[in-house]
Amino acid sequence: MKKLLFIFNPYSGKAQIKNKLLEIVDIMVKAGYEVTIYPTQARADALNLVQKRAKKYDLVVCSGGDGTLDEAVSGMMLSEKKVPLGYIPAGSTNDFANSLKIPKDMVKAAKAAVSGKKFACDVGKFNDSFFIYVAAFGIFTAVSYKTSQEWKNILGHAAYILEGAKSLHEITSYHMRVEYEDQVIEDEFIYGMITNSNSVGGFKNMTGKNVLLDDGKFEVTLIRKPKNLVELNEILASLSNMIDDTDAIYSFKSDCITFYAEEKVPWTLDGEYGGNPQEVKISNQQQALEIMVKK
């Protein structure tokens, strides 16, 4: 009999899994799986369990928010043997599920997890950690460490922080040297985002056009510290129109990018705190993970 490991965060979102659990497990069993069920008990549980146990199963399905998905992906990347991963979204924003066209409805997502098709998805490696759709630092991220609910307000927050700064010197920025392919950029940055997703913070097209999740490339957006009020206004205008029409925003695609900062910089990985390294190497592990999506 095929074996399925089902890991869910019972508290994700509004704990809506409580009303769906029976139906979800029934779908798994009807699809021919013997199911092991594990409600996460603490942070890092999903990561450790997937890393240690995935190899004994034919399929791993996780349910929760971005944090749980990130842990399952990281666990799978560290597992001796990778097996396909299904995802039943239960968090608040679920940018990545939208990008992959994984249904928002938990029951439909469960069906896709057990009888959908495999999609070989790119995974981001961030020093020794992993992310599935976004690694970011800077002004937008400070608020988003807590819950991804707050991602929804990132643009509002950015505008607030930028506009609220009495002088440009008040905006926190990081001096960094950024290297990718044969390019080097050295500047003061207020924000950086490396993504593999069509939407971030619930905003579609925020990450650029023609985004593919299996092309081995990230979309990179870096915002330089504005030099004067004119530039600040250009940045705000670009952000609110979601179009890049200012020199203060660098945007490009790359498969490998290195950041050297003069100080420690706090990052988020998939909306969760990702540590504060001074040096970061981010590389795209092309099609490293099979994710179950709707047929």
Ligand X SMILES: Nc1ncnc2c1ncn2[C@@H]1O[C@H](COP(=O)(O)OP(=O)(O)OP(=O)(O)O)[C@@H](O)[C@H]1O
Residue ranges that bind ligand X, judged by CB under 6 A: 9, 11-13, 40-43, 45, 64-68, 71, 91-93, 147-149, 271-272
Catalytic residues: 272
Tell me which residue has its CB nearest to ligand X: 65
Residues 287 and 121: beta-carbon distance below 8 Å: yes
In the structure encoding, which two tokens stand for residue 121, read together? 């998805």
d(CA 267, CA 123): 17
Residues 219 and 251: beta-carbon distance below 8 Å: yes
Which residue lies nearer to ligand X by CB, 76 or 222?
76
Q: Tell me the torsion sign for CA atoms 157, 162, 165, 169.
A: positive
Which residue lies nearer to ligand X by CB, 35 or 97?
97
Sort strands 2-8 and 59-64 into parallel, antiparallel or unpaired. parallel
Which residue lies nearer to ligand X by CB, 69 or 158?
69
Location of structure tokens 């009888």: 115
d(CA 148, CA 203): 13
Residues 279 and 261: beta-carbon distance below 8 Å: yes
Minimum CB–partner distance for residue 288 and ligand X (Å): 21
Which residue lies nearer to ligand X by CB, 62 or 123?
62
Minimum CB–partner distance for residue 7 and ligand X (Å): 9
Minimum CB–partner distance for residue 221 and ligand X (Å): 21
Count other Cβ atoms within 10 Å, centred on residue 230: 9
Residues 264 and 278: beta-carbon distance below 8 Å: yes
